[in-house]
Amino acid sequence: MTVLLTVENLTQRFGGLVAVDNVSLDVEEGSIFSLIGPNGAGKTTLFNLVSAIFPPSEGKIMFGERALHKAHTHQLAEFGIGRTFQNLAVFHHATVVQNLLVGLHHQLKANILTAPFFWGRPRDEEIKARRRVEEIIDFLEIEHLRDLPVGQLSYGLQKRVELGRALAIAPRLLLLDEMVSGMNAEETEDIARFILDIRDEFGITVMMVEHDMGVVMDISDRIAVLDRGQLICVGEPGEVSQNPDVINAYLGKK
């Protein structure tokens, strides 16, 4: 197995607060890697660092040859990293199709000089893009929602659209921040199935932050546990659920 993502001595400070504290971990290609921990543990911050939303205070993040700690957010799609956001960041007024098309941005070529004269290359690429979007729509079973503004959909379906938009990037690594929070049991089950299919059918490595322990234990290959910014344990689901530090971090507070 090859390592796809390497995090080395990563630290992020916000003023006096150390949100991520000297974290090192490896994510293997083709695995489902979960990041868990209590509220405020620094999970989303770690995701933001990996997706170059801001540069880390210290440390390195390598994605193959790419140094993510020095990258710009907009380069990530091209590198092959797609993500969803904890607080849903879909384009509310746009339809499902339009949302997914945005994910294809870096694979298209139209620019301000060619776009006004649509008929020709921009049109051909739009037709191709439309086809690709249709495949994702089929995969996520949202054919009937295709032309609806995303803002009109239920929370669970909006999350599904956001997943589709991240898939449109054609990522090698997919970062999912709390996909199933706020979903009912059936929606949660659908998402778990999609995540497995994404890995098995498309060979995409999945890194996810999740509070739903059922999903985490069921589908993860490896789990990392963060507590107050520190990595307290990494391992397979069986090991992690037995780890005294983990039990303490979760139960000690509640």
Partner 1 sequence: MRTGNHIESYPRHISLSDNPVVWFWLVALMAAMIVLPAFSGLFVLGLAIRILIAAVGAIGLNLLTGSTGQISLGQSGFLAAGCYTTGLLIADYNWPPELALPMSGIVAAALSFLVGIPSLRLKGLYLAITTLAFSFIITQFLLFAEPITHGPYGVRIEDTVLFGFDLADPTTMYYFCLGILVLVTLGVLNIMRTRVGRAFNAIRDQDIAARAMGINLTTYKLTAFAASSFIVGLAGGLMAFQFRFINVDIFSVTLAIEALAMIIVGGLGSVAGAIIGAAFIILLPEFVGDAIGLLPAGISDVLARGALEIKGLLIGLVIILTLRLEPDGLIGVWRNLKRYWSRWPLSV
Ligand X SMILES: Nc1ncnc2c1ncn2[C@@H]1O[C@H](COP(=O)(O)OP(=O)(O)OP(=O)(O)O)[C@@H](O)[C@H]1O
Q: How far apart are CA 189 and CA 180, in angstroms?
A: 9
Residues 76-115 that bind ligand X (CB under 6 A): 86
210 touches 180 (CB < 8 A): yes
Rounded CA separation 78/106 (Å): 6
Of the candidates 1, 104, 235, 75, the one whose C-alpha atom is nearest the C-alpha of residue 61 is 75
Longest dimension (CA), the chain: 64
CB 47, min distance to Mg ion, A: 8
Q: Show contacts with ligand X in window 16-45 (CB under 6 A).
A: 17, 19, 37, 39-45
162-221: which residues touch partner 1 (CB under 8 A)? 165, 169
Check residue 83 for interaction with partner 1 (CB under 8 A). Answer: yes
**181 touching Mg ion, by CB under 5 A:** no
Q: Is the dihedral of CA 79, 44, 166, 172 positive or negative?
A: positive
When CB distances are held under 5 to 8 angstroms depending on the partner's kind, the choice from ligand X, partner 1, Mg ion, none that residue 39 binds is: ligand X
Phi, psi of 8 (to 5 degrees): -125, 115
Kindly tell me which of 75 and 86 has the beta carbon lying closer to Mg ion.
86
Task: Give whichever of 37 and 103 is closer to ligand X, judged by the CB atom.
Answer: 37
**Under 8 Å between Cβ of 246 and 233:** yes
Residue from 86, 98, 181, 230 in contact with Mg ion (CB under 5 A): 86
Q: Which residues bind Mg ion (CB under 5 A)?
A: 44, 86
Q: Which residues bind ligand X (CB under 6 A)?
A: 14, 17, 19, 37, 39-45, 86
